[in-house]
Amino acid sequence: MRGLVSAMYRSITLAGTRTPGRETDRSDTGHLIGAVSLHIDAWDYLAAELGYWIGVPWWNKGFATEAANAVLRFAFERLRLARITACHLEENPASGRVMQKIGMTRQPLPRVAEKGGQPIRLIDYLLTRETWSAKRIVNRWKASPLALVT
Ligand SMILES: CC(C)(COP(=O)(O)OP(=O)(O)OC[C@H]1O[C@@H](n2cnc3c(N)ncnc32)[C@H](O)[C@@H]1OP(=O)(O)O)[C@@H](O)C(=O)NCCC(=O)NCCS
């Protein structure tokens, strides 16, 4: 996915640019359909929190997963970060599904926080560079023609 990367206050946003019906047209860079952000921890420069949103008309087309994967690669290969965290509201399973699809591991216990005076339950996810690298090697091996021989 082509995108605009901007860095401000240790936070990076990748903006997607596709139009319905032209998903495979790599020259289509004129439309903002969502964003993925990476907020680097102020106290731990090897860690960052991943966030994303996609405009409603483009939901469930794989865009968040594709863009988040691109940002993960940037975070681990270029920024050399060690850990990426993400969290979602318990009542937002689509966001959790994206975290699962990009290889993040759900943490065992929900976290209780507060929003507008009301308690909210958050589900935390974690991905380390070691786990990400190992999964990439396994996926490459599965996609290799040699895998068919065995
Ligand atoms: C969460 C969000 C970014 C997902 O974007 P998206 O481009 O639709 O995500 P993808 O298409 O890559 O993947 C969505 C997955 O969630 C699944 N899904 C959608 N609705 C779901 C639901 N109610 N319950 C469980 N899974 C659901 C889809 O089936 C898909 O999984 P699949 O590929 O296994 O079928 C988008 O819905 C959004 O912007 N929501 C509002 C902002 C937000 O919640 N941001 C995250 C804050 S933590």
Which residue among 37, 54, 58, 92 has the greatest number of ligand 1 atoms within 8 angstroms of its CB, and so is best to mutate? 54
Please tell me the predicted confidence (pLDDT) of residue 31. Answer: 66
Reduced to 3 states (helix: H, G, I; strand: E, B; else coil), residue 140 is helix
Using a 6 Å cutoff on CB, does residue 92 contact ligand 1?
yes
Domain hosting 11: range is 4-149
Which residue among 66, 84, 87, 97 has the greatest number of ligand 1 atoms within 8 angstroms of its CB, and so is best to mutate? 97
* CA distances in angstroms from 89 to 12, 29, 94, 112, listed in the order given: 22, 31, 10, 10
Using a 6 Å cutoff on CB, does residue 59 contact ligand 1?
yes
Do residues 90 and 123 touch, judged by C-beta distance below 8 A? yes
Please tell me the predicted confidence (pLDDT) of residue 8. Answer: 34
Please tell me the predicted confidence (pLDDT) of residue 7. Answer: 37
Question: What are 96-105's pLDDT values in tens digits?
Answer: 999 999 999 9
Please tell me the predicted confidence (pLDDT) of residue 3. Answer: 41
CATH no. for residue 39? 3.40.630.30
For the chain, give the percent of residues with pLDDT over 90: 57
Using a 6 Å cutoff on CB, does residue 93 contact ligand 1?
yes
- Residue 145's φ and ψ, nearest 5 degrees, are -60, -30
CA 95/CA 53 separation, integer angstroms = 9
Give me the number of domains the chain comprises.
1
Give the DSSP letter string of 28-76: ------EEEEEEE-SS-TTEEEEEEEE-GGGTTSSHHHHHHHHHHHIII
| Cα–ligand 1 centroid distance for 50 (angstroms) | 15
Give the DSSP letter string of 76-115: IIIS--SEEEEEEETT-HHHHHHHHHTT-EE-SS-EEEEE
Q: With 90 as the cut, is the pLDDT of residue 145 above it?
A: no
Question: What are 24-71's pLDDT values in tens digits?
Answer: 555 555 567 788 999 998 889 999 999 999 888 889 989 899 989 999
